[in-house]
């Protein structure tokens, strides 16, 4: 008769074999993978950060997890594709530094990887006298930020650059460009794979917990509808529209809260695309929360005009009919959104009407190009911006990083990037360097 200890050992061995073989064949058992760093979020900032981490630590095992079926599915794949030069931002600010540095790194990377792009330039056009002082202030900012080859020009020079555009004065940025940032993100992913990193798609993280009996990989990540569990030493989240929810899973505060703002673009008809050669932007009005109508040529030859800015009815609500009642109520009850809406009530109402009636946007378009009429504009693509809001209603215009509360591994080894403000795509390689620096410092590597 077999002893009790031998029976116990045989039983344990049977369970092991069942887990390793039967589970793998039929997918019924959980599989565990171990990593040094897991990056949650497959947008351009998450992919760039994982790439930079591997460049610095080539022996590490690094994974990027993304809940959608492909990378760059949301903000990265729905933006206007502009490579910004760093004109708008307060001199000395992190955004200014990262944008100027990021633009230079972008063009270098595009050339190295043969990624198609165009330096079409940008005109920021003052169409009214009241805008000229603000334009001059922008010029001073841009010079202080080190924006290369910037020019302050008059109306005649405007039409040398954009023959159909009218204006009093303008800033001309010849190095502003356009690119497809989804393509750029895929190149970052190729770099990650080449360096031995892993990309896990359709992996929707729903829980962080402490790993039982494994002090070397103390954080466990579990996903909805997946048989793969991840054990890791460290975690970085760059979750965009879900960044606040992801942070709350490890005990971080609700604020700043993400409020989804949908931007709806118009498409210029093919017959009049020749009227827009490069980016044409308005002079920002500091009293309003968003930029307003601008013209953006695309790599495919189309021209986008807009966007407006309206509340999306769910975190990833690209259409009016896409509604998540819980997410909508969550946004409407947040004191930060209520204060923002009250402060800009008339602006919000006008944006709502522009969303329903295209013709209401035509006068804003004609301020720059009078020859465009109602019949030249059609419904275009939409994007949803992850707008971070403080509880007092202020738009968060800087990076926000949080650790969870407590002393355990989940609190101290999961770093959340809760806001990577525009121009995040342009700045992605520079942001990645900053985030990798922060990881090295915060995790004492």
pLDDT tens, residue by residue, 325-343: 999 999 999 999 999 999 9
Residues 368 and 294 in one domain: yes
Top-confidence residue, 209 or 1: 209
Reference 383, options 79, 73, 82; nearest CA is 79
Q: Is residue 142 part of a domain?
A: no
Residues 263 and 327 in one domain: yes
Residues 213 and 269 in one domain: no
Residues 369 and 294 in one domain: yes
Residues 267 and 384 in one domain: yes
Domain C-terminal end among 375, 391, 407: 391
Per-residue tokens: 315:
């975190």
Long-range contacts of 316-320 (CB under 8 A, 24+ apart): 316/74, 316/241, 316/260, 316/384, 317/260, 317/262, 317/384, 318/78, 318/262, 318/382, 318/383, 318/384, 319/382, 320/355
Domain region containing 46: 32-73+183-255+399-442
Q: Is residue 108 part of a domain?
A: no
pLDDT tens column, 128-165: 999 999 999 999 999 999 999 999 999 899 999 999 99
The number of distinct structural domains making up the chain is 2
Other CB atoms within a 10 A radius of the CB of residue 393 amount to 18
Q: Is residue 423 part of a domain?
A: yes
Element (H, E) at 126: strand 122-126
Residue pair 94/234 in contact by the 8 Å Cβ criterion:
no
Residues 340 and 326 in one domain: yes
Any idea what the CATH number is for the domain that residue 63 is in?
3.50.50.60
Residue pair 99/397 in contact by the 8 Å Cβ criterion:
no
Residues 323 and 226 in one domain: no
Q: How many CA atoms lie within 13 A of 327 on its CB side?
A: 18
Compute the mean pLDDT over every residue in the chain, rounded to the nearest whole number: 92
| pTM reported for the whole predicted model | 0.91
| Residue 231 to residue 67: CA distance in whole angstroms | 18
383 forms beta bridges with: 263
Any idea what the CATH number is for the domain that residue 349 is in?
3.30.9
Residues 241 and 385 in one domain: no
| Residue 423 to residue 84: CA distance in whole angstroms | 7
Within 233-324, where are the H helices?
A: 243-248
| Residue 201 to residue 204: CA distance in whole angstroms | 8
């Amino acid at each position: 008769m077999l002893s009790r200890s031998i029976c116990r050992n045989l039983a344990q061995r049977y369970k092991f074999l069942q887990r390793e073989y039967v589970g793998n064949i039929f997918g019924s058992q959980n599989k565990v993978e171990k990593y040094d760093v897991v990056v949650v979020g497959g947008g351009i900032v998450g992919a760039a950060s994982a790439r930079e981490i591997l460049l610095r630590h080539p022996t590490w095992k690094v994974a990027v997890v993304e809940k959608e079926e492909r990378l760059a599915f949301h903000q990265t794949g729905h933006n206007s594709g502009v490579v910004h030069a760093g004109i708008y931002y307060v001199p000395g600010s992190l955004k200014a530094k990262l944008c100027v540095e990021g633009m230079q790194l972008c063009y270098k990377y595009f050339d190295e990887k043969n990624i198609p792009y165009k330096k079409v330039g940008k005109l920021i056009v003052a169409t009214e006298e009241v805008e000229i002082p603000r334009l001059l202030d922008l010029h001073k900012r841009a010079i202080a930020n080190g924006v290369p080859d910037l020019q302050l020009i008059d109306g005649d020079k405007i039409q040398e650059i954009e023959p159909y555009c009218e204006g009093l004065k303008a800033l001309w940025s010849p190095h502003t460009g356009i690119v497809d940032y989804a393509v750029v993100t895929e190149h970052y992913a190729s770099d990650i794979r080449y360096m031995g990193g892993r990309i896990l798609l359709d992996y929707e993280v729903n829980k962080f917990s402490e790993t039982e009996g494994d002090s070397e990989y103390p954080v466990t990540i579990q996903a909805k509808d997946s048989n793969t569990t991840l054990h890791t030493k460290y975690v970085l989240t760059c979750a965009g529209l879900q960044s606040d929810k992801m942070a709350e899973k490890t005990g971080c505060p609700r604020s700043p809260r993400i409020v989804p703002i949908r931007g709806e673009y118009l498409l210029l008809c093919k017959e009049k695309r020749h009227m827009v050669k490069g980016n044409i932007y308005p002079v920002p009005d500091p009293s309003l929360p968003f930029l307003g109508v601008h013209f953006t040529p695309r790599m495919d030859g189309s021209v986008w005009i807009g966007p407006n800015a309206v509340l999306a009815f769910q975190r990833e609500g690209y259409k009016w009919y896409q509604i998540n009642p819980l997410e909508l109520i969550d946004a409407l009850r947040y004191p930060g959104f209520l204060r923002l809406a009250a402060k800009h009530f008339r602006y919000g109402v006008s944006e709502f009407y522009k969303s329903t009636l295209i013709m209401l946007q035509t006068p804003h378009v004609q301020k720059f190009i009078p020859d465009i009429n109602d019949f030249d504009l059609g419904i275009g693509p939409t994007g949803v911006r992850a707008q971070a809001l403080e509880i007092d209603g202020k738009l968060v215009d800087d990076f926000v990083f949080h650790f969870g509360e407590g002393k355990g591994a989940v609190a101290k080894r999961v770093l959340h990037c809760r806001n990577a403000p525009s121009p995040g795509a342009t700045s992605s390689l520079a942001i990645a360097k900053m985030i990798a620096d922060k990881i090295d410092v915060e995790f004492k590597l």
